[in-house]
Amino acid sequence: MQTSFTLAQLADPNVAESEKILRTCVHCGFCTATCPTYVLLGDELDSPRGRIYLIKDMLERSAPATREVVTHIDRCLSCLSCMTTCPSGVHYMHLVDHARVHIERTYRRPPVNRMLRAVLAAVLPHNRRFRAALTLARLAKPLAPLLAAIGLKPVAAMLRLAPARLPAPGMATGHVFPAEGRRKGRVALMAGCVTPVIGPSVNDAAIRVLTRHGIEVVLPEGQGCCGGIVHHMGREHDALSAVRRNVDAWLAEADGEGLDAIVTTASGCGTTVKDYGFMLRSDPAYAAKARRVSALAKDICEYLARLDVRAPASAPGIVTAYHAACSLQHGQKITREPKELLSRAGFVVKDVPEGHLCCGSAGTYNILEDDIAKRLRARKVANIEKVKPDVVAAGNIGCITQIAAGTAIPVVHPVELVDWATGGPQPAALSRTTRTAAAARTAEAAL
Ligand code: SF4
Ligand code: SF4
């Protein structure tokens, strides 16, 4: 794609980076076929190619973002399906991230939208605030239909997504979990911001599986949200502050007792941490440190795939629909490892049709773009139900929450199933009937 930036514009390293990306796009449009918003809405401006044109025009004119541009960029899930499809290697993620920062700096959103975004940015990345907000949201849940009727759809969406019961808080930072038997490795577990509040069982399972296989786990003091939530809202300053804080916390451990990896259980966070090196590339004090952190980052299934995860005593034989989280399959290109781990642990793994399409979770997307998110969830659930699973496995807490809100089939993280199969407790989300159904099927097949 030809561009016409001036030399003065290209002196800005962010513009120079975006220009490089824009020049790799050859307008072929292959990406449109796998873009969830184009598939649903059929509008070229809601396709990757259309958005690339909008971003190019906005950046070339150094103009404030217009309402039209904001509408179509806001509708982008950052699912990165387009990056998997693109034959020219267009780095859409870095381009849309830059566009979001430009929008945040130059566009004044309507007051309610502005306020809602400010609240999400101030609450979600902080465990305690998020927990308190969910407690209030549970009480206000019955008001959701009324709020939707008076046009406050995102607030209604937020209330609907609030879980009916909150689990006990996850493990605090500062803990060290020793390896069972001979220590073979040492990792930092990134607890995350949302997981310890609504899905602490995921990190608990990860700690059990890792320590059971000889890996010491530390939850480093000072680590927090990966910065992804605010990063995807274009709040660059907040995002980079979170990144620097994590870099300091993890490198203190790496330079102290040592770390083989920084393990993430939420693939959305993992994709962000693996991008820290890029995010801080212009910061002389942090560029090299951030690159080191990115090189250490591993998704839990990616890390477990290197270990000799013990074979289970008896194969559970449970049919498991593997939902490939976008951030894992498109963002980190991890596709085989979770399925192989589950198979080795005795689960019957089924791919979900249209597995490349997002479930609609996408960080705060299912709050801010509720209509599209609901349509994507309905499509995802229908596809999942086609493979008649006993359970759904998804490697991202956002996907787990989003899909679980649309089906009665239990949805868990793959590491919870691997933990169960290798000696841990049965995931609470799985009812007894799941196991009984699997046992009945096995008995039927044996006849
Ligand atoms: S990131 Fe996803 S929603 Fe956004 S343009 Fe690419 S495929 Fe479409
Ligand atoms: S597939 Fe790649 S090169 Fe083709 S239009 Fe999409 S982004 Fe551009």
- For residue range 83-111, list pLDDT tens digits in order: 999 999 999 999 999 999 999 999 999 99
Per DSSP, the chain holds a count of helices (H) and strands (E) of: 26, 9
Residue 313 pLDDT greater than 80, yes or no: no
- Residue range 24-33: mean pLDDT, rounded: 96
- Residue range 334-361: mean pLDDT, rounded: 95
DSSP 8-state class, residue 327: I
Give the residue with greater pLDDT, 19 vs 198.
19
Q: Do 325 and 339 share a domain, yes or no?
A: yes
- Residue range 250-266: mean pLDDT, rounded: 97
Q: Is residue 50 lining ligand 1, measured as CB closer than 6 Å?
A: no
Q: Do 276 and 364 share a domain, yes or no?
A: no
Which ligand lies nearest to the CA atom of residue 21 in the structure? 2
Residue-level pLDDT at 424: 92
| Ligand 1: residue whose CA is nearest its atom 2 | 79
| Ligand 2: residue whose CA is nearest its atom 1 | 86
Give me ligand 2 centre to Cα 82, in Å. 8
Return the CATH number at 327.
Answer: 3.40.50
Residue-level pLDDT at 93: 98
Q: Do 300 and 181 share a domain, yes or no?
A: yes
Looking at 28-32, 170-174, 183-187, 432-436, which range is the least confident one?
432-436
Residue-level pLDDT at 438: 59
Confidence band of 437 (pLDDT split at 50, 70, 90): low
Residue-level pLDDT at 147: 83
Q: Is residue 269 part of a domain?
A: yes
Q: Is residue 167 part of a domain?
A: no
Cα separation, 285 vs 290, in Å, equals 10
Question: Are residues 35 and 81 in contact, defined by beta-carbon separation less than 8 angstroms?
Answer: yes
Sequence-ordered alpha helix ranges (H) in 305-352: 326, 337-344
Number of Cβ within 10 Å of residue 70's Cβ equals 20
Of all atoms in ligand 1, which is nearest to the CA of residue 35?
7
Confidence band of 19 (pLDDT split at 50, 70, 90): very high
Portion of the chain with pLDDT greater than 70, in percent: 94
Of all atoms in ligand 2, which is nearest to the CA of residue 26?
3
Q: Is residue 313 part of a domain?
A: no
Q: Is residue 430 part of a domain?
A: yes
Residue-level pLDDT at 337: 96
Residue-level pLDDT at 165: 80
Give me ligand 2 centre to Cα 78, in Å. 15
Q: Do 116 and 102 share a domain, yes or no?
A: no
Which ligand lies nearest to the CA atom of residue 39 in the structure? 1
Q: Is residue 217 part of a domain?
A: yes
Q: Is residue 233 part of a domain?
A: yes
| Ligand 2: residue whose CA is nearest its atom 4 | 28
Residue-level pLDDT at 164: 77
Q: Which tokens is 408 given?
A: 């009665």
Give me ligand 2 centre to Cα 123, in Å. 36
Q: Which tokens is 58 given?
A: 């906005």
Residue-level pLDDT at 312: 65
Q: Is residue 54 lining ligand 1, measured as CB closer than 6 Å?
A: no
Residue 174 pLDDT greater than 80, yes or no: no
- The DSSP annotation for 100-120 comes to HHHHHHH----HHHHHHHHHH
Q: Is residue 76 lining ligand 1, measured as CB closer than 6 Å?
A: yes
Residue-level pLDDT at 287: 98
Q: Is residue 190 part of a domain?
A: yes
Q: Do 202 and 283 share a domain, yes or no?
A: yes
Residue 73 pLDDT greater than 90, yes or no: yes
State phi, psi for 298 to the nearest 5 degrees.
Answer: -140, 140
Give me ligand 1 centre to Cα 182, in Å. 45
Residue 161 pLDDT greater than 90, yes or no: no
Q: Do 102 and 129 share a domain, yes or no?
A: no
Of all atoms in ligand 1, which is nearest to the CA of residue 38?
8
Give me ligand 1 centre to Cα 51, in Å. 9
Beta-bridge mates of residue 186: 216
Domain end: 64, 85, 106, which one?
106
User: Minimal CA–CA distance to 418: which of 305, 329, 325?
Assistant: 305
Give me ligand 2 centre to Cα 32, in Å. 8
Q: Do 234 and 155 share a domain, yes or no?
A: no
Q: Which tokens is 405 given?
A: 């809100």
Residue-level pLDDT at 436: 59
Buried b (16+ CB within 10 A) or exposed e, 154-170: bbbbbbbbbeeeeeeeb
Question: Are residues 80 and 107 in contact, defined by beta-carbon separation less than 8 angstroms?
Answer: no
Residue 183 pLDDT greater than 90, yes or no: yes
| Ligand 1: residue whose CA is nearest its atom 7 | 35
Residue-level pLDDT at 137: 84
Q: Do 119 and 93 share a domain, yes or no?
A: no
- Residue range 334-343: mean pLDDT, rounded: 96
Residue 170 pLDDT greater than 90, yes or no: no
Domain of 49, in residue numbers: 7-106
Q: How many domains does the chain have?
A: 4
Characterize the bridge pairing of strands 411-412 and 176-177. unpaired
Confidence band of 18 (pLDDT split at 50, 70, 90): very high
Confidence band of 246 (pLDDT split at 50, 70, 90): very high
Q: Do 181 and 271 share a domain, yes or no?
A: yes
- Residue range 337-360: mean pLDDT, rounded: 95
- The DSSP annotation for 71-95 comes to HHHHT-----HHHHH-TT---HHHH
Q: Is residue 398 lining ligand 1, measured as CB closer than 6 Å?
A: no
| Ligand 2: residue whose CA is nearest its atom 8 | 25
Question: Are residues 295 and 354 in contact, defined by beta-carbon separation less than 8 angstroms?
Answer: no
Which residue out of 3, 21, 22, 30 has the highest number of ligand 2 atoms within 8 Å of its CB and is therefore the one to mutate? 30
Confidence band of 441 (pLDDT split at 50, 70, 90): low
| Ligand 1: residue whose CA is nearest its atom 4 | 76
Residue 261 pLDDT greater than 90, yes or no: yes
Cα separation, 242 vs 224, in Å, equals 7
User: Minimal CA–CA distance to 12: which of 346, 244, 20?
Assistant: 20
| Ligand 2: residue whose CA is nearest its atom 2 | 86
Q: Do 206 and 283 share a domain, yes or no?
A: yes
Confidence band of 305 (pLDDT split at 50, 70, 90): very high
Number of Cβ within 10 Å of residue 378's Cβ equals 14
Residue 317 pLDDT greater than 90, yes or no: no
The SS3 of residue 322 is strand
Residue-wise pLDDT for 115-124, tens only, equals 999 999 999 9
Q: Average pLDDT, whole number, for the chain?
A: 92
Residue-wise pLDDT for 215-237, tens only, equals 999 999 999 999 999 999 999 99
Q: Is residue 80 lining ligand 1, measured as CB closer than 6 Å?
A: yes
- Residues flanking ligand 2, CB < 6 Å: 25-31, 48-49, 52, 82, 85-86, 88, 90
Residue-wise pLDDT for 366-419, tens only, equals 999 999 999 999 999 999 999 999 999 999 999 999 999 999 999 999 999 999
Q: Is residue 395 part of a domain?
A: yes
Give me ligand 2 centre to Cα 419, in Å. 41
Residue-level pLDDT at 169: 76
Residue-level pLDDT at 52: 98
Q: Do 433 and 326 share a domain, yes or no?
A: yes
Which ligand lies nearest to the CA atom of residue 96 in the structure? 1
Residue-wise pLDDT for 113-159, tens only, equals 999 999 999 999 998 898 888 888 888 888 888 888 887 887 888 78
Q: Is residue 363 lining ligand 1, measured as CB closer than 6 Å?
A: no
Residue-level pLDDT at 433: 55
Q: Do 222 and 287 share a domain, yes or no?
A: yes
CA atoms within 13 A on the CB side of 286: 22
